[in-house]
Structures are given as C-alpha cells and as structure tokens.
C-alpha cells in the first residue's frame, strides 16, 4: 500500500506527462459514401415507380393506335390512359367495354400490361424484402432465416426465376382448365378457347379482373368448371410469393411455417368464409342477384364474390343490383386485400391482423403484443398503423373530391368506386364510365397509389434507421 505522499507525487507525474503529450489526436472517420450503383431499398422503390410509369406510358401509346380499337379512328387519350392504368395496376375498372371496344391487338396489349403489373409487383416486393433483410443486424438475420427456413433467400436472381416459374406454372394450369371447358363445354373453336383460357387465367392470377365478356362472368355463375379455376388462381396470386414458396417446401410441416405464412393463411380462410356467409345472408332473396338461383348455385356465387373481393374484379352476379349493405361489406373486404408480395392489392391481411392483435393486447391488458407465440416488434406495430392511417386518408380525400364532382351518385356508390380503385379490385356499381374526366383521373391516381403506395411506404418505414440519443419526458393525453 502506497503512502499518501507517494500517491500524490505519482498523480502529479501523470498529469505532467499528459500535458506534455497534448490531447490525443483523433483519427477522423471516413465518411460513408453511397455508390450510385449500389442497390438499396430506396433505389429499388424508385425503380419500381419509374418502371410502372414507363409501362403506363408505353401502354397508353399502344392503345392509342387505330389498330387497338374496333371502330373507326383511335381511342381517346383518356380512354387509352385509363385502360392502361387499370391494366398495369391490375385493377380492372373500365370506361369502355373491353371485348367490344378493343381489337385482339388491344386486348393483347391489356393482357401484357396485366402480366407486367402482376409480375412486377411480386418481384419488386420480394426484392425489397431481401434488401431489407440484408440491412438487418446479424442476430436479426439469423432469427429471420431460422423462422423462414430459407438461408439462401438472398439470391435475388434465383428468387426472381422462381417467381417467374411459379407464375407460368399456375397460369398455364388454369388456362388449360379454362380452355378445355370453353372448348368442350361451350363449343368454342380451339384458337378461341385457348385465347379465352389464357386471358382469363392471367387476369385471375394477377388479380386484375379484366374479362372478355361484357357482363364479366355472370353467364358462368352456375358453372363450377369456370368459376373454381378462377377462384384458385385469384387465391394463389393473392397469397403472395413468400407464402407460396414456403408451402411448396414445407406444406407437410405446418409447425415450421413462419409467422407471415400462418397469418396470411389464417386471415385468408377467415375472410373468405365470413365474406361468403355475409353475402349469401344479405343477397339470398334478392331477385336481381342470388334470388332466382338454386341453393348450390347461390353458395357458389356467394363464395365466388367473396374470393373476388380480395381484389380480382370479376363478378358473377350484378354488383349494381346488390343491397347497399353488401356494398359496405365488400368495401371492407376490398380494403383489406390479400397477402404481401402478391398480386392482390389493399392494405394486406397481415397489416390488418397486426392491428387486430394490438387491439386485443390493449383490451386484455397485456404488456407486449404476442402473435402466434411470438412477441411482435413495436416498429412493426407503428408501420402497420402508419400504412392504415395514410390509406384511410387517401380514401377519405378521394371520396370527398368525387362527392363534390358527382353528388347525385350518392355516397355508397362513390365510396365503393374509390375503395375499388385504391385497393386495385375492379368491382364497380356501373358508374365508372359516367364519371367526368376529372373524376376518372382521380381514380387513376388512386389505382397508381394503391398499387405502389403501400409497398413504397412500408419499405421507407422499415428502411429508416434513425437512432435517437435522448428521450423526452412522457405525458399521456386522454383517450376515448
């Protein structure tokens, strides 16, 4: 043990040496520069928007050609622009009768835009997920890879090829089933049967809703050989590529499914069942919809419309003749939509499911939000809330604008049209063509926003890594 004097002398010597050495020079950290060629979530989202805008421009120009229209002359710029936007955004709203107004060339352009829109959204959404996965820390990446059982998920080229293969296989199988039914059951010539099968298979899997019949699928409402393949294609496209891939690998081992897969499958089953019961209960005796049908036909038509409300846009019964209560129920189904990284639109079932679990945790007084045995990250809760609030704001704003432009149409019809456009569904009460050019442009903006908005917003929120070095004092306002 040192004596006090020795300790004082030692401390004084240390101070002299420190002053003599001067302050320690700090090596400046090299500033992180971003390579303009680096692929980031932000750049990918920008590329997504730019690619869709370019495809929309090209599609509009092609539909403006005289060869695209059956009558004399060419389509008007608004007709071509609206149709191209509805096709690339896989919506299905139309201002002209597709099988009557457009030639086979015009229909082929529409089909190509549908395919680009559906495949593009699935691809870009999956790539954005991969890029966000790479931005996670090591522990989070290990956890995610363990949950999804996909350590090679970062191979973007392989993922895109698998998306393409999945799309081709499903569309080919549905097209074959439909083509055989059109040919054998309705006497179509082979070329026409094949064309109708391919067109409706692509339109169904990409949740577009374009049909080569003026009354959509109403003539086949009681034919399960037509409606069932369409429903299968719509559901598979709406599940999303991550879910399809995991089901392909581990369909016999449900305990190993990720939270995303289980949420999408559970929510899809609940919504399809609830939608079928609701529509059948309301429309069962409606003489203009389900009333004249047999019991089995009513159930089939109710199931078909419940599936289609997941953003496909076909209809096997007259939507304009439905009860306003049915319109409200369809509004909710359309707004929820399908699964993430799929061809369906809407808010996505996972977003709504997260908010449901958050509400349940608050009602039951739980300290943390748990989903299927796992604790839910607070950042995911905030992202889901933000997406829903922005979507509801867009729907409310567009509804207000259209009400000012067409107050004679009523709130229920206008709200239905707005939700259908934003959720990229395509169902309509028959007022699309009656709207003024300004109102139709509002719908185009909604379709574009609804197709790309949730993806880009969610990506921007997930990619933000802002670290706060301080916290402000807490205070709680009164709620309710």
Question: What is the residue-averaged pLDDT of the chain?
Answer: 84
**Which tops the pLDDT comparison, 8 or 381?**
381
* Burial annotation 273-309 (CB, 10 A radius, 16+ → b, else e): eebbebbbebbeebeebbeebeeebbbbbbbbbbbbb
Interval 213-237: pLDDT, tens: 999 999 999 999 999 999 999 999 9
pLDDT at 26: 47
The reported pLDDT for the residue numbered 159 is: 78
DSSP state of 371: E
Nearest in space to 345 (alpha carbons), one of 178, 208, 197: 208
Answer whether 451's CB lies under 8 Å from 55's CB. Answer: no
What radius of gyration do the chain's Cα atoms show?
Answer: 27
Higher-scoring residue by pLDDT: 250, 49: 250
DSSP 328-351: HHHHHHHHH---TTSS--SS-HHH
Residue 32: is its pLDDT beyond 60? no
Contact 117, 84 (CB under 8 A): no
| Residue range 76-132, pLDDT digits in tens | 999 999 999 999 999 999 999 999 999 999 999 999 999 998 887 777 666 666 655
State the pLDDT at residue 33: 45
Closest CA to 271 of 194, 359, 356, 182: 356
pLDDT exceeds 80 at position 356: yes
Contact between residue 191 and residue 159 where contact means Cβ atoms under 8 Å apart: no
pTM score: 0.83
Chain segment 362-403, per-residue pLDDT in tens:
999 888 888 888 888 888 888 889 889 989 999 999 999 999
Give 250-282 pLDDT, tens digit per residue: 888 888 888 889 999 999 999 999 999 999 999
Q: What is the pLDDT of residue 315?
A: 93
288-346 pLDDT, tens digit per residue, is 999 999 999 999 999 999 999 988 889 999 999 999 999 999 999 999 999 888 888 89
CA dist 158 and 162 (Å) reads: 6
**Distance from C-alpha of 65 to C-alpha of 301, rounded to nearest angstrom:** 38
Distances (CA, A) of 286 to 164, 222, 271, 289, 290: 43, 17, 23, 6, 6
pLDDT at 148: 38
């Amino acid at each position: 043990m040192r004596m006090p004097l020795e300790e004082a002398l030692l401390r004084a010597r240390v101070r002299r040496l420190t002053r003599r050495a001067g302050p320690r020079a700090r090596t400046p950290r090299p500033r992180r520069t971003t390579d303009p060629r680096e692929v980031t979530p932000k750049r990918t989202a920008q590329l997504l928007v730019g690619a869709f805008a370019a495809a929309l421009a090209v599609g509009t120009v092609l539909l403006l050609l005289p060869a695209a229209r059956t009558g004399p002359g060419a389509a008007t710029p608004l007709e071509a622009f609206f149709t191209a936007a509805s096709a690339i955004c896989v919506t299905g709203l139309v201002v002209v009768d597709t099988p009557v107004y457009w030639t086979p060339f015009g229909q082929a352009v529409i089909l190509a835009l549908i395919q680009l829109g559906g495949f593009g959204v699935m691809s870009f959404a999956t790539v954005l997920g991969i890029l966000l996965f790479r931005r996670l820390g090591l522990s989070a990446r290990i956890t995610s890879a363990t949950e999804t059982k996909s350590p090679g998920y970062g191979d973007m080229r392989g993922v895109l090829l698998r998306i393409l293969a999945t799309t081709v296989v499903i569309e080919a199988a549905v097209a074959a089933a439909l083509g055989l039914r059109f040919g054998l059951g309705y006497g179509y010539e082979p070329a026409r049967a094949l064309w109708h099968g391919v067109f409706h298979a692509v339109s169904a899997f990409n949740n577009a809703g374009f049909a080569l019949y003026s009354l959509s699928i109403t003539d086949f409402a009681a034919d399960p050989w037509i409606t069932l393949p369409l429903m299968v294609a719509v559901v598979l496209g709406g599940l999303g590529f991550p879910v399809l891939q995991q089901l392909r690998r581990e369909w016999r081992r449900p305990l190993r499914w990720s939270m995303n897969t289980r949420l999408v499958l559970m929510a899809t089953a609940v919504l399809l069942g609830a939608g079928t019961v609701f529509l059948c209960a309301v429309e069962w005796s409606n003489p203009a919809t389900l009333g004249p049908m047999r019991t089995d036909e009513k159930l089939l038509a109710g199931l078909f419309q419940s599936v289609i409300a997941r953003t496909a846009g076909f209809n096997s019964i007259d939507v304009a003749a439905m009860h306003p209560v049915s319109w409200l129920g369809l509004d909710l189904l359309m707004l929820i939509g399908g699964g993430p990284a799929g061809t369906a639109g809407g808010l996505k079932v996972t977003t709504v499911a997260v908010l449901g679990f958050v509400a349940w945790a608050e009602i039951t007084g739980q300290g943390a939000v748990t989903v299927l045995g796992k604790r839910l990250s607070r950042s995911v809760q905030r992202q889901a809330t933000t997406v829903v609030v922005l979507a509801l704001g867009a729907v409310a704003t567009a509804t207000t604008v259209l009400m000012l432009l067409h107050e004679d149409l009523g709130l229920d019809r206008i709200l239905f049209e707005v939700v259908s456009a934003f959720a990229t569904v395509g169902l309509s009460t028959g007022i699309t063509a009656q709207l003024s050019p300004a109102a139709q442009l509002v719908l185009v903006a909604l379709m574009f926003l609804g197709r790309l908005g949730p993806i880009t917003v969610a990506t921007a929120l997930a990619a933000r890594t802002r670290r706060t070095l301080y916290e402000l004092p807490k205070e709680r306002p009164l709620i309710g």
